[in-house]
Amino acid sequence: MTVEQFQQAGRQSTHGGMFMADGAKTLPMRVDLVPIGEVPAPVKREASAVLRSVYDASVSIATDQDLPRDAYDSGRDQYRAEAFIDLAADAAPGDRAVGLTTEDLYYRRRNYVFGLAYLDGRSCVVSTNRLGTSSDGGFSQRSPEAVFGDRVRKEVVHEVGHMLGLDHCDNNRCAMSFSPTVQEVDRKEETLCGTCQRELF
Ligand SMILES: [Zn+2]
Ligand SMILES: [Zn+2]
């Protein structure tokens, strides 16, 4: 699916929500985690754990992939997110692929993204680059490492939800709520709300 179709599908889903029809057939699923560039082991562990707990997925870790140098924008010091989605899909044999990277990603006119997925696609990407801000805005007494791990888990659930056809959710506790800043990520849970779950399971 091209990005144009992705956006089109996103718009349609806001009004119609018809695209979800084959979501149920895809679960339980096999997911390959695809590290792109150097990815710390704890990030892979958090991503695997949450895919098992929320999606009941069987998870494999694919071979590390080199960074897509041609997707690097030196003026922005960022990478184009779409290249990572394509790379993850090409690198993984399973049903679905989740690219993981520590690099900073941008998408079109957005200054940065925590991740990107094609709606109802085969792959997505999550970047940990901007999830490490130590403050969680006073939401918990947890350590910076634990807060970071929570954010990684939530963003993985979020992008995989898009990959399975879920659109953004109005429930700001739901992992599918739109969360462009870490404060909004911290407010939501790593789980899907009942409405989103019923779309998939
Ligand atoms: Zn989203
Ligand atoms: Zn929801």
124 is in an annotated binding site: no
The reply to whether 174 sits in an annotated binding site is yes
162 is in an annotated binding site: yes
CA of 103 to the centre of ligand 2 (A): 28
Domain ranges of the chain: 30-200
Residue keyed to tokens 């941008």: 106
Cis peptide before 68 (omega within 30 of 0): no
In terms of CATH architecture, what is 30-200?
Answer: 3-Layer(aba) Sandwich (3.40)
- Kindly give the distance from the C-alpha atom of residue 29 to the centroid of ligand 2, in angstroms, as a whole number: 20
The reply to whether 15 sits in an annotated binding site is no
How far is Cα 29 from Cα 31, in angstroms, rounded to an integer?
Answer: 6
Buried/exposed 33-51: b ≥16 CB within 10 Å, e otherwise: bbbbbebeeebbebbbbbb
pLDDT by 10s per residue, the chain, length 201: 344 344 444 433 333 333 444 444 556 899 999 999 999 999 999 999 999 999 999 999 999 999 999 999 999 999 999 999 999 999 998 889 999 999 999 999 999 999 999 999 999 999 999 999 766 666 677 888 999 999 999 999 999 999 999 999 999 999 999 999 999 999 999 999 999 999 998
Output the CA–CA distances (angstroms, integers) from residue 17 to 3, 20, 29, 85, 124, in the order listed. 18, 7, 22, 23, 20
Residue 159 is among the residues annotated as catalytic for this protein = yes
Per annotation, catalytic residue among 103, 159, 190, 199: 159
Q: How far is the CA of 40 from the centre of ligand 1 (A)?
A: 24
Cα of 170 vs its chain's centroid, Å? 18
